């Protein structure tokens, strides 16, 4: 291969380090990296965050049309993460060699602690970063020999010795600058030789699933409400942005759950501070069209998002917002976009840093969101029950009407039939106001039919006296003797008391007895 690169080893531009930071020691590296990322997928999130920030910066400069993107490519033993954002200049690349140093502002960028860029140390033997900043004819290549660095720390640890953190990083990183097209702008990070405890980073399916739940990406185009939600978010959440992310051959989209009602919105305001014109949070949600919780345990519920990156999983809003009936949070899926800049994600992004803004968010969002959603869930449940009762009553009445038409109601079941119809009618009457219009109409009709049927059964005959009786008495039908009647009634009375509370069984036995008696021609 030809090599036209005009490489030169470059001294990093000076980064101002506070004097007390000089005394940070190598052990911290191990803690910061391995300790901070027990779930290795979070390593990817850190780099995707940086890529996303680079794309936002490019857009801010007026560049970056439709082709801006973040791409993840698994090529064992490496994971490549590429973005064509603004790129990093020499100064920013030099900062890679300083733990905890970041020029990013919390208000503008997703990542800001200056730790995430080194997260790959916990997952791979080498981290190779190649970047070219827009407008500067340079390409910088930084190589961190993570394996050698951590081995060094462990060797020292075994001897009870330590090393200054910055010295350690300088020792195991190299930075090289070559010429590049000034119009080029990109960053590629390679996690080379992903460690055996981090192999999840080489699983494209897992990466895509993880990013679909955490990253600032577009809604799945097949989600019919996606574009409407996106529109609302762009209007009400000032820092809401998206970028296309690809994993392998496929673009990753935000998931959605089927059988959902159209989206609804909730603004969370700080009523204690009416001067604040901005909401603390903006929530969208879709309710399950079916009964109860969505079955998908991963995607159901609400997710907190800050700058469109998720914070925590679907358990976090459930725990922090729901004081009662928390199971109802899973009757919905949606997002709570946090707009209050004082609410800051924790370093591992499983929660928010504990501060007064967080407490205010939890309190106000609990009032606004969980109460509303519980009410909606309750109302939906009432509606569903009202519909169910109308349907049940219709079925009960129809069944008894059919029996009555052919005179197939045994005298023994006259009362139970009347009770069944009365109950069905009563259930409708109690809940008819919760039912939708169509079911209210059907309910009223069922009540009317039920009342007619009760009268018919009570009187033992249909309204049209020419028709046969709705009730039959087996004793009369078989012309039983007095003695036989006495025996029959004794048996039926015993069965009735024995099967009290089990009407179905009682009915079944009555039917069988009648069949047997008829067959034997008693």
Residue whose C-alpha is closest to residue 288's, from 334, 226, 326, 335: 334
Closest CB to other proteins among residues 86, 99: 86
Whole-number Å distance between alpha carbons of 10 and 18: 23
Say how many CA atoms lie within 13 Å of 521 toward its Cβ. 0
Selected binder of other proteins within 51, 64, 85, 279 (CB under 8 A) = 64
Q: Does 342 bind other proteins (CB under 8 A)?
A: no
Residues 106-125 that bind other proteins (CB under 8 A): none
Closest CB to other proteins among residues 110, 134: 134
Selected binder of other proteins within 97, 141, 305, 307 (CB under 8 A) = 141
Selected binder of other proteins within 49, 102, 122, 139 (CB under 8 A) = 139
> Helix 204-214 crosses helix 41-60 at what angle (to 10 degrees)?
60
Minimum distance, C-beta of residue 179 to other proteins, in the bound complex (Å): 7
Whole-number Å distance between alpha carbons of 372 and 379: 10
Token digits of residue 401: 């009407």
Minimum distance, C-beta of residue 43 to other proteins, in the bound complex (Å): 18
Contact 253, 222 (CB under 8 A): no
Selected binder of other proteins within 33, 119, 130, 320 (CB under 8 A) = 130
What does the CA dihedral 108, 340, 312, 315 come to, rounded to 10 degrees?
-160
Residues 380-419 that bind other proteins (CB under 8 A): none
Stretch that binds other proteins, among 68-76, 327-335, 346-354, 380-388 (CB under 8 A): 68-76
For the chain, report the end-to-end CA distance as a whole number of angstroms.
106
Minimum distance, C-beta of residue 59 to other proteins, in the bound complex (Å): 12
What are φ and ψ of residue 306, in 5° steps? -125, 125
Minimum distance, C-beta of residue 143 to other proteins, in the bound complex (Å): 8
Residues 79-108 that bind other proteins (CB under 8 A): 80, 82, 84
Whole-number Å distance between alpha carbons of 243 and 85: 10
The DSSP secondary-structure symbol of 121 reads: G
Whole-number Å distance between alpha carbons of 438 and 411: 36
Token digits of residue 238: 């000032």
The DSSP secondary-structure symbol of 258 reads: S
What are φ and ψ of residue 125, in 5° steps? -75, -30
Selected binder of other proteins within 95, 190, 270, 340 (CB under 8 A) = 190
Closest CB to other proteins among residues 49, 188: 188
Token digits of residue 345: 């994600």
Closest CB to other proteins among residues 185, 364: 185
Minimum distance, C-beta of residue 198 to other proteins, in the bound complex (Å): 15
Minimum distance, C-beta of residue 390 to other proteins, in the bound complex (Å): 54
Stretch that binds other proteins, among 12-20, 77-85, 288-296, 310-318 (CB under 8 A): 77-85
Q: Does 185 bind other proteins (CB under 8 A)?
A: yes
Residues 435-454 that bind other proteins (CB under 8 A): none
Contact 373, 334 (CB under 8 A): no
Closest CB to other proteins among residues 84, 314: 84
Selected binder of other proteins within 177, 178, 372, 401 (CB under 8 A) = 178
Whole-number Å distance between alpha carbons of 120 and 42: 10
What does the CA dihedral 323, 324, 327, 328 come to, rounded to 10 degrees?
-100
CA distances from 472 to 413, 414, 460, 505, 514 (A): 10, 10, 8, 20, 11
Binding mask 14-53 for other proteins (x = CB under 8 A): ----------------------------------------
Closest CB to other proteins among residues 71, 388: 71
Minimum distance, C-beta of residue 334 to other proteins, in the bound complex (Å): 31
Binding mask 236-255 for other proteins (x = CB under 8 A): ----------x-xx------
- Give the interface size with other proteins as a residue count (CB under 8 A): 37
As a three-state string, the secondary structure of 272-331 is: CCCCCCCCCEEEEEEEECCCCCCCCCCCCEEEEEECCEEECCCHHHHHHHCCCCHHHHHH
Residues 257-316 that bind other proteins (CB under 8 A): none
Minimum distance, C-beta of residue 40 to other proteins, in the bound complex (Å): 19
Binding site residues, other proteins, CB under 8 A? 1-2, 4-5, 63-65, 67, 71, 73, 75-78, 80, 82, 84, 126, 128, 130, 139, 141, 143, 178-181, 183-186, 188, 190, 192, 246, 248-249
């Amino acid at each position: 291969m030809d090599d036209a690169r005009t490489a030169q080893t470059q001294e990093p531009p000076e980064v101002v380090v506070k004097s007390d930071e000089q005394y940070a020691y190598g052990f911290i590296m191990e803690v910061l990296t391995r300790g901070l990322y027990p779930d290795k997928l979070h390593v990817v999130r850190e780099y995707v965050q940086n890529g996303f920030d680079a794309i936002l910066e490019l857009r801010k400069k007026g560049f970056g049309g439709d082709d801006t993107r973040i791409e993840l490519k698994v090529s064992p033993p490496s994971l490549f993460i590429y973005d064509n954002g603004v790129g990093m200049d020499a100064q920013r690349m030099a900062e890679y060699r300083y733990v905890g140093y970041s020029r990013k502002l919390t208000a503008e960028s997703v990542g800001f602690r200056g730790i995430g860029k080194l997260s790959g140390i916990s997952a791979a033997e080498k981290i190779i970063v190649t970047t070219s900043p827009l407008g500067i004819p340079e390409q910088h290549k930084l190589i961190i020999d993570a394996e050698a660095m951590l081995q060094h720390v462990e060797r020292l640890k075994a001897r009870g010795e330590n090393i200054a953190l910055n010295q350690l990083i300088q020792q195991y990183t190299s930075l090289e600058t070559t010429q590049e097209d000034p119009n080029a702008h990109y960053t590629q990070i390679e996690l080379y030789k992903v460690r055996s405890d981090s192999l999840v980073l080489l699983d494209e399916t897992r990466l895509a699933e993880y990013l679909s739940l955490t990253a600032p990406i577009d809604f799945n185009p097949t989600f019919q409400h996606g574009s409407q939600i996106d529109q609302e978010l762009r209007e009400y959440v000032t820092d809401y942005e998206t970028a296309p992310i690809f994993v392998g051959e496929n673009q990753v989209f935000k998931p959605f759950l089927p059988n959902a009602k159209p989206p609804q919105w909730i603004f969370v305001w700080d009523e204690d501070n009416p001067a604040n014109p901005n909401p603390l949070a903006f929530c969208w949600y879709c309710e399950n069209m079916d009964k109860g919780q969505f079955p998908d345990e991963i995607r159901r519920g609400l997710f907190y998002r800050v700058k469109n990156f998720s914070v925590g999983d679907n358990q976090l809003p459930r725990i922090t917002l729901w004081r009662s009936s928390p199971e109802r949070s899973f009757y919905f899926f949606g997002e709570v976009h946090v707009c209050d800049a004082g609410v800051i994600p924790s370093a591992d992004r499983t929660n928010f840093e504990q501060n007064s803004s967080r407490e205010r968010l939890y309190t106000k969002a609990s009032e606004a969101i969980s109460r509303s959603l519980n009410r909606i869930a309750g109302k939906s449940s009432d509606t569903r029950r009202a519909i169910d009762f109308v349907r049940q009553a219709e079925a009960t009445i129809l069944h008894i009407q059919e029996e009555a038409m052919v005179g197939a109601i045994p005298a023994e079941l006259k009362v139970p039939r009347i009770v069944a119809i009365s109950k069905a009618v009563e259930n409708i009457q109690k809940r008819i106001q919760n039912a939708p219009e169509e079911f209210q109409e059907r309910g009223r009709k069922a009540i009317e039919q039920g009342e007619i049927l009760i009268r018919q059964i009570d009187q033992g005959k249909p309204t049209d006296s020419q028709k046969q009786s709705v009730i039959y008495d087996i004793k009369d039908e078989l012309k039983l003797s007095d003695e036989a009647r006495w025996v029959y009634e004794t048996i039926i009375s015993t069965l009735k008391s024995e099967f009290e509370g089990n009407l179905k069984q009682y009915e079944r036995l009555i039917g069988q007895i009648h069949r047997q008696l008829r067959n034997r021609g008693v």
